[in-house]
Amino acid sequence: MDTSDELSEPLGKTNDQLVAFLSRYRDMNFLKSHGRDNARTCKVDREEEAGVSSSENSICMGGDRFIRKQGLDRLFLECDAHMWRLGDRRIPEGIAVDGGSDWFLLNRKFVEYVTFSTDDLVTKMKQFYSYTLLPAEVRRDNASHLVVSMSLTNIWARAKLLSFFHTVLENSPHCDTMVDNNLRITNWNRKLGCKCQYKHIAPTTSSRKTSTASRQAGCKAPLLNPHLPRSQLADPVHFISRAQQTARPTFFARKFEAVVNQEIIGQLDYYLYGNYPAGTPGLRSYWENVYEEPDGIHSLSDVVLTLYHSFSRLGLRRAEASLHTEGENSCRYYPMGHPASVHIYFLADRFQGFLIKHHATNLAVSKLETLETWVMPKKVFKIASPPSDFGRLQFSEVGTEWDAKERLFRNFGGLLGPMDEPVGMQKWGKGPNVTVTIIWVDPVNIIAATYDILIESTAEFTHYKPPLNLPLRPGVWTVKILHHWVPVAETKFLVAPLTFSNRQPIKPEEALRLHNGPLRSAYMEQSFQSLNPVLSLPISPAQVEQARRNAASAGAALEHWLDSLVGGMWTAMDICATGPSACPVMQTCSQTAWSSFSPDPKSELGAVKPDGRLR
C-alpha cells in the first residue's frame, strides 16, 4: 500500500514470472526493513533466490534511533482532524521493533494470524499501534493466495503503519517466513523526498497537535522520470537491468505518474509488450479527467468554476471568429449551463491546457449542441531586454500547490482567485552564490511585496509564499526578478475575479468585497511605495479608478471584465463538436487529435483474456 495519490505500479516482469516465483515461495512473507536503524532479532537462513543473501540477513541492533524517528516512544491520539501528542511511553518489554516500506506481500497464514489471533503479541501490538503517529490509509484485497497491502478489518483500516506488520511478524511464530525484500524498485531520492520527516515528531507547543495532513509528511519517493539523472534510477534501461537481477528479484517499480512523465511508462510498456504499430494515435498524448458532470458543481471551487465558464465562452468566441460566415448564424452559439467535463491535456509530457466539454445553443437552428474547447495558457515568463549579465535564472512561475518533491505546481494552469495564497518559484542554473530581489506588483502597480533570496551555487529551485493580506486585487500581476536592482526577468499571473460564490452567481456586495483588494490597498504592514519611482512603476489615478469600477461590477459587466482578463492570458486553440452540429465546418471531436474523445489505444482496457491479462 502507499499513502500518496500519485502512483502507478506496472510490472517489471511478466505475470507468468511473478506467479512462478510466488508459487515457489508461497509460505514466505515479503517485507522490506530499513535495516540499518532497526532492532532485528529473527535470523533465519533463506535462499538467495528469495531475495536475501546471508550477509543481508544478519542481526541488526540500534533500534532506538528508528523508534525515536518514527515517534513510537510517544503517545498520540487522533481527534477532530488533528493528531494530539499526549506524552511519552515505553516500548513493550521483550518486543523487537522493526519497520520499513509499507509496500509488502503477505501470505494467507500470517494474515489470518494477525486478523483472528487473540494471543498477547497481536492483542498488545494492535493496542500499541492504535496510539501511534502516522496511521496509514490502506485498501482491502481479498486475493486468495497472496495479500498485497491488505487491510485486516474495518478497525484496522487506519491503524497499520510502516512498522506494525514488520514488528508482529518478527516477534511471532511466523518469524522464519520473513524475506527482507518487497520485490519492488523505488526511486528514492531523499534530498527531494524527505523534505519533512514529521517536523520532528509533531509540534511541541502547548496545544501539541498537528493537522491530519501533516501526519503524512515523512519521506516519499519521487516519481521515475527518464530526464532525471541515472543515479535516481530514472533511466528505464537501468531500471530494467535492475529488475532482471536474481539475487534480489524485482517485479514492481514505483512511482510513475503520467502528468509528470508519461515517456518512461511508454518505454517500459514497449519493453514488456512490444511497440505499437506505426501511426497509432495518441501515443505521445495524455488526458486526465479532473471533472465530470456526475461529480456535481459542488466538487469545484468558485475559482475553478468561474474559469471553466470563461474558457467555454472563449471557445465560442473562437468558433464565431474563425468558423462563422458573414450573414449566417450556423457557427454562432449561446452558452448553456455548467461545463459537462474537464480534462487536463499533455503532449510529449508538456502541459497543453484544459479541454472543456460544454453545452451551447446553435443560434441558427436553436438546438443544443455539445462542444469541446481547448484552451492553452500564453507564455508569460520574459527575460529582461536588454538582457542582464546575470545568467543563472532559467525560469520563473507563480501558482499554488507547489510540489517540492516533483518540483512543479499541482494547480496546473495556475487557476487563482482573490483568496488564494500564491507561491513564487524560480529555476536556476549552476553558478556562484548570489542574492536576487523579488518584487510582486499588483494590477494597478502597487508593490505588494519585496524580498531577497540567497541563491546558493548548487541551488536548482527556490520557492516562497509571501504573507500577503487578502483579498488579492483581481487582474494581471507581475513578479519581477532583479540582481543588484538590475532587471533580470519577470513573469505574470492572473488573479481572476469571481462570477460564482458558493457555486451560485455572485451577489454585487460579495463581488465588491472580494474584488477591491485588501483594506487600504495594504498587502503587508510595510509600504513599498517609495520603490515605485525606482522601478518606473507609476500609479495612475485613472487606472485605480477603473479598478474600483471593475470591483463594483456584477452580472454581464463582471463576465465581460473576467473574459477580457482571461483572453489576455489564455488562447482558445480549437473547438470541436462531440455530436451532430449545424455548423458545417465544425470538426468532429472523435477525429480531432487533441480532443479527449479522440482514440487513445494505449489506455484502452478490454475484456480480460484467458491468461488473466488485459493486453
Provide the pLDDT for residue 450: 97
Most confident by average pLDDT, 55-59, 541-545, 610-614: 541-545
pLDDT at residue 82 in the model: 81
Among 12-21, 139-148, 524-533, 595-604, the minimum mean pLDDT is found in 139-148
- Calpha distance 449→528 (Å, rounded): 7
Torsion sign, CA atoms 142, 143, 149, 152:
positive
Residue 514 has phi, psi (to 5 degrees) of -85, -25
Residues 151 and 140: beta-carbon distance below 8 Å: yes
Q: What pLDDT, on the 0 to 100 scale, is given for residue 217?
A: 43
Q: Which of 118-132, 177-191, 346-360, 443-457 has the lowest mean pLDDT?
A: 177-191
Q: In this model, does residue 46 exceed pLDDT 60?
A: no
pLDDT at 98: 86
Mean pLDDT in residue range 511-522: 96
d(CA 310, CA 158): 41
Span 370-390, pLDDT tens digits: 999 999 999 999 999 888 888
Q: 3-class SS at 203? A: coil
Residue 346 scores a pLDDT above 70: yes
Q: How distant is the alpha carbon of residue 352 from its chain centre?
A: 17
Count H helices and E strands in the chain, helices first: 13, 27
Comparing 71 with 493, the larger pLDDT belongs to 493
Q: What is the mean pLDDT of residues 204-218?
A: 38
Cell readout for 440 is 510582486
Q: pLDDT of 412-427, one tens digit each?
A: 999 999 999 999 999 9
> Which of 126, 200, 412 lies closest to 289 in space, CA to CA?
412
Neighbours of 527 (CB within 10 A): 13
The predicted-structure confidence for 386-398, as pLDDT tens digits, reads as follows 888 888 999 999 9
Q: Name the percent of the chain lying above pLDDT 70.
A: 79
Distances (CA, A) of 480 to 50, 140, 557: 57, 50, 31
* Tens digits of residue pLDDT in 319-344: 999 887 676 788 999 999 999 999 99
Handedness of CA 444, 445, 450, 455 (dihedral sign): positive
What's the pLDDT score for residue 193? 54
Beta bridge partners of 62: none
Question: What pLDDT score does 596 carry?
Answer: 98
Report d(CA 560, CA 581) in Å as an integer.
Answer: 27
Residue-level pLDDT at 185: 82
Q: Is the preceding omega at residue 191 within 30 degrees of 0, hence cis?
A: no
pLDDT classification of 240: cutoffs 50, 70, 90: low
DSSP letter (8 states) at residue 607: P
Q: What pLDDT sits at residue 587? A: 96
Closest by alpha carbon to 224, among 258, 251, 196, 176? 258
HSE, CB side, 13 Å, CA atoms: give it for residue 284.
Answer: 9
Q: pLDDT tens digits, residue range 51-86?
A: 544 333 333 334 677 788 778 888 888 888 788 889
Q: What's the CA gap between 215 and 121, in Å, rounded?
A: 26
Task: Work out the percent of the chain whose per-residue pLDDT is above 90.
Answer: 60
The pLDDT value recorded for residue 332 is 94
Pull the grid cell for residue 46.
533463506
| Averaged pLDDT, 262-278 | 86
Using DSSP, state whether 548 is helix, strand or coil: helix
DSSP 238: H
Give pLDDT, residue 237: 58
Q: Residue 516 corresponds to which amino acid? A: N
- Give yes or no for residue 599 having a pLDDT over 80: yes
54 or 177: which leads in pLDDT: 177
pLDDT at 368 over 60: yes
Whether pLDDT at 525 is above 50: yes
Q: Which of 474, 450, 473, 453 is CA-nearest to residue 527?
A: 450
Q: Tell me the CB-side half-sphere exposure of residue 158, using CA atoms within 13 A.
A: 8
Closest CA to 257 of 286, 227, 230, 237: 286
- The pTM score is 0.82
How much is the pLDDT for 571?
A: 98
> pLDDT class for 472, splitting at 50, 70, 90?
very high
Average pLDDT of the residues in 23-45? 69
Q: What is the mean pLDDT of residues 589-596?
A: 98
Residue 536, pLDDT score? 93
pLDDT of residue 252: 84
Length of the chain equals 615
Largest CA distance in the chain: 89
- Single out the residue of 180, 176, 168 nearest to residue 42, CA to CA: 176
pLDDT mean over 432-451:
97
